[in-house]
Amino acid sequence: MTAYNQIASNKRRTAILIAIFIIVIIALGYVFSKAMEGGIAGVIFACAIAIGMSLISYYSGDKIALWTSGAHGPVTKEQNAYVYRLVENLCLTAGLAMPKIYLIPDAAINAFATGRDPKHASLAITQGAIDKLENEELEGVMAHELSHIKNYDIRLMMVVIVCVSITTLLANWFFRFNFLGGRKKGNAGILFLLLGVMLAILSPLVAKLIQLAISRKREFLADASGVLLTRYPEGLARALEKIQAENQPLMRANKATAHLYIANPFSGKKSWFANMFSTHPPIAERIKALRSIA
């Protein structure tokens, strides 16, 4: 499979997952409004709160992510010419504006990109990645992260987070309204109430699984897009092999920002069940996909 085919395939799958998300939210809104006998105003209110919270995260999320990781910067060319020029050359190739570069004082090999669009982007890399990766390997990692910026992955994930927030708030609001409000219902109301209870229990779990699935698909997409920049899939494949072999967690790993990193910032081997709830696909699968690119 070529890099272009892999990118097209991942984009199609992501679009399908987003469509499923929209259908789930519409179904939830309809069933909950019926179960609450026309209480659509509360549903709209819950959605407004979710969107408002997400907008705040959208415009300040990059600062929060950098602060959470303990990143220092931005780094100038004089402070670290090697990393700065490497990123600068990749940006010229990709036609991207130069992002701000931050260093994370951590011995683990990892990196992430953040920002709402290419003009408001930052790239953070651990000291361990700089020290332990060869030039082509570090270039592969940086190309992967720049691809997240170029592909607007942060914007996509923000849309997904809005959907998850709406779904969770709808479920919580439904439970509070029905079981604390104590309203009486007719036969149709009881039927919709039972259906609503089932959806309220299952929908947050389904929403979270869809969010994680999209996050994993975007990692494959960024891998393939990064190869188009470097024209050398082996560089990123070797970097991922080193990350897998080292299996070292970040000192300031955080579940809220784990999906941003090139590899899961938490260590330990995961079972197939745990992988269902992981923000990243197994590294072995990513390496296999990279080495299958023609």
**Is the CA virtual torsion 148, 150, 156, 158 positive or negative?**
positive
The more confident residue out of 11 and 217 is 217
pLDDT at 292: 92
Catalytic residue status for 136: no
> At residue 189, does pLDDT exceed 60?
no
Give me 223's structure tokens: 């891998």
pLDDT for position 68: 87
The answer for residues whose C-beta is within 8 angstroms of residue 230's C-beta and 6 or more apart is 90, 136, 139, 140, 143, 236
pLDDT band at 51 (very low <50, low <70, confident <90, very high): low
Give the per-residue pLDDT at 46. Answer: 60
The neighbour count for residue 292, using CB atoms within 10 Å, is 11
Higher pLDDT: 238 or 58? It is 238
- Which of 78, 136, 137, 145 is catalytic? The answer is 145
Question: pLDDT grade, residue 38 (50/70/90)?
Answer: low
Does residue 54 have a pLDDT over 70? Answer: no
pLDDT score at 293: 85
| Interval 129-149: pLDDT, tens | 999 999 999 999 999 999 998
Give residue 83's pLDDT.
97
Mean pLDDT taken over the chain:
80
- Averaged pLDDT, 104-115: 94
Percent of the chain residues past pLDDT 70, beyond the cut: 64
Neighbours of 122 (CB within 10 A): 21
Q: What is the mean pLDDT of residues 179-189?
A: 53
Residue 23: pLDDT above 90? Answer: no
Please say if the pLDDT value at position 70 is more than 70.
Answer: yes
Interval 207-232 mean pLDDT: 84
